[in-house]
Amino acid sequence: MNFKIGIIGYGKMGQIRHKTIMENGFGEVVAISEPKLDKNLDKVPPNISIDDIIDDNKIKVIIICTPNYLNKPLTIRALKSGKHVFCEKPPAFTAKDIEEIIEVENENTFLKLMYGFNHRHHDSIIKMKKIIERKEYGKILWMRGRYGKSVDQSYYKNWRADPKQSGGGILIDQGIHMLDLFLHFAYDFDSVKAEVSNLYWKMPIEDNVFAILKNSISGVVASLHSTMTQWRHLFSIEIFMEKGYMVLNGLITSSMTYGEEVLSIAKNRTTAPAATWRDEEKETFTINNSWKYEMEHFFNSIIHDSPITIGNSQDALKLMRIIDKIYKN
């Protein structure tokens, strides 16, 4: 099935999505809409208005890669116009926004809506999820996630520094991915305690978030630190279970600024008090298949009329409810 596709927003993410669609062969990007199009790009589809993309009856799929404040209204408009929609994170600014989107989605049940929670599609995360589901090491006891990056003064000039356009700071920009992984592994959290600070950059958005989440049914507790005063890019998620643990350090990106993607797994408990690392296995992931897997999931769902199981609107709603609580704190 060869879909006619429109991409709204043709910066870095729009170009990544276009490249992946071409490689997967699911359809043809027939139009883009980008007000600040890089003139050095080669072989770019026709650059038309957002209205023209949404109103084009030949376009059946819309990919939204815009500044955050446009995600909700464009998603609603695209669904109402009869398009399948893939939208980058964050899905919106609040849980109430997502509820409004779901109302429109429920009126158009023949359409597919998926959000770009890309980290779920990394091979390392897929492996961790399978291990958890098989309960090889028992139940999850606790999780700890750290996600940080270094920024400079140029960040002030970016739309991400404007809360009216971004909806928030480092949490909604980057920490949202770690929160989504927590939900991916532990399903939900009903207790949220957090500290949100702006001690260094003094922008109208937060530069650090510390949050403690708890699932009162399973007892799982998760600790999050999301920061833009890391001074070096860092990604780390640790999952400790009854009979072992998994630690993922680093994440494959185009710039490789987060280092190698290395998953360490303990097959058995170490012997206390003289704990050792001899029982630990390490696997380094060298290829980033996440963009491929993500688009495959979206387009296969359309082709086979199967549900979106990773990055659906209910995932988005759970996530934004937690973000609401963190910002309220």
Whether residue 271 has pLDDT greater than 80: no
Whether residue 153 has pLDDT greater than 90: no
Same-domain check for residues 220 and 236: yes
Its domain, for residue 142, covers: 123-251+253-286
In the chain, count H helices and then E strands: 10, 13
The bridge status of strand 221-227 relative to strand 208-214 is antiparallel
pTM: 0.96
Task: Give percent of the chain above pLDDT 70.
Answer: 96
Model pLDDT for residues 207-262, shown as the tens digit of each residue: 999 999 999 999 999 999 999 999 999 999 999 999 999 999 999 988 899 999 99
Does residue 118 sit in helix, strand or coil?
helix
Same-domain check for residues 268 and 178: yes
Spatial separation of the C-alpha atoms in residues 177 and 145, rounded to whole Å: 10
Hey, which residues does 285 pair with through a beta bridge?
A: 261
Same-domain check for residues 157 and 259: yes
In a domain, 321, yes or no: no
Whether residue 275 has pLDDT greater than 90: no
Spatial separation of the C-alpha atoms in residues 5 and 33, rounded to whole Å: 12
CATH of the domain at 52: 3.40.50.720
The total number of structural domains that make up the chain = 2
The answer to whether residues 33 and 8 touch, using CB atoms and an 8 Å cutoff, is: yes
Q: Which residues of 22-36 are buried (b: 16+ CB within 10 A; e: fewer)?
A: eeeebbebbbbbbee
What 8-state DSSP symbol labels residue 44? P
Question: What is the gyration radius of the CA atoms in the chain, in angstroms?
Answer: 20
Q: Which helix (H) or strand (E) holds 31?
A: strand 27-33
Last residue of a domain, one of 117, 145, 162: 117
Ranked by mean pLDDT, the top range of 133-137, 263-267, 296-300 is 296-300
Of 42 and 306, the structure prediction assigns the larger pLDDT to: 306
State residue 270's pLDDT score: 60
User: Tokens for 119?
Assistant: 């980290």
Same-domain check for residues 167 and 257: yes
Pure H helices in the chain:
12-24, 50-55, 71-80, 95-106, 123-134, 163-166, 170, 176-186, 290-304, 313-328
Q: Which helix (H) or strand (E) holds 3?
A: strand 3-8
Same-domain check for residues 148 and 53: no
The DSSP result for 152-215, as a single string, is: -GGGGGSGGG-HHHHSSSHIIIIIHHHHHHHHHHH---SEEEEEEE-SSS--SS-SEEEEEEE-
Same-domain check for residues 205 and 271: yes
In a domain, 24, yes or no: yes
Angle at the Cα of 192 from the Cα atoms of 130 and 327, rounded to 5 degrees: 110
Same-domain check for residues 112 and 127: no
Q: In what side-by-side order are the strands of the sheet with 221-227?
A: 191-197, 208-214, 221-227, 140-150, 229-241, 244-249, 261-266, 280-285
State residue 267's pLDDT score: 76
Same-domain check for residues 70 and 90: yes
Last residue of a domain, one of 117, 137, 162: 117
In a domain, 43, yes or no: yes
State residue 254's pLDDT score: 82
